[in-house]
Amino acid sequence: MAKNIIPIDLTTSAALRQIRELVKDSANIFLIPHARQSMKKRHITLAQVIDCLRKGSITEGPYRDIGSGNWRIRMEYYTSGQYLTVVAEIFTNNNNEKILVFNCIKSISYKVYYTLCQEKPLKLN
C-alpha cells in the first residue's frame, strides 16, 4: 500500500456540484427500500426527491459514513408547500459515481426549527 496517499475531504460546495452533476441523469439515483417506504408513507414523489437533490441546499455534511465509507449528506428544499429533507450518499459503483437515497422526510426547516426553539424554549416538567 502506498504511503503517500493524502485523504481529501469533500467540501460542501464540491459535494453540491457533484450531486447536481449526477442528478442530471436519473439513472444515477438509487432508492433503498426504506426510502421508498418513507416516500409512500409521507406522500413524497420521485420528482420531489429529484428537485431536492437538484435545487436544494446541504444542511448537514458531507461526512464519511462509518459503515460504508461513502460521503453522506442531508439536503433540504422547499417544495409543494413544505420542506423536504433527503438523506443520501455519494458512492462509487464500478468506477461510476451514483447517489443512494436513504430517507425522505417532510418537515419544517431546521433553520426555522432552531429559531423557534431559541425564541420559545421547550419547558420540561
**Which tens digits make up the pLDDT trace of 33-88?**
999 999 999 999 999 999 999 999 999 989 998 888 889 999 999 887 788 999 99
Please state the domain extents for the chain: 12-119
pLDDT at 10: 86
pLDDT at 4: 56
Please report the DSSP string for 1-46 in residue order.
--S-----PPPHHHHHHHHHHHTTSGGGEEE-HHHHHHHHHHT--H
DSSP, collapsed to helix, strand or coil, labels residue 41 as helix
Distance CA 13, CA 115 (A): 24
pLDDT at 124 over 60: no
Give the distance from CA 84 to its chain's centroid. Answer: 10
> E-strand spans in the chain?
29-31, 57-64, 71-79, 82-93, 96-107
Give me 79's grid cell.
417544495
Q: Which CATH number fits domain 12-119: 3.30.1380, 3.30.70, 3.30.2310, 1.10.1740?
A: 3.30.2310
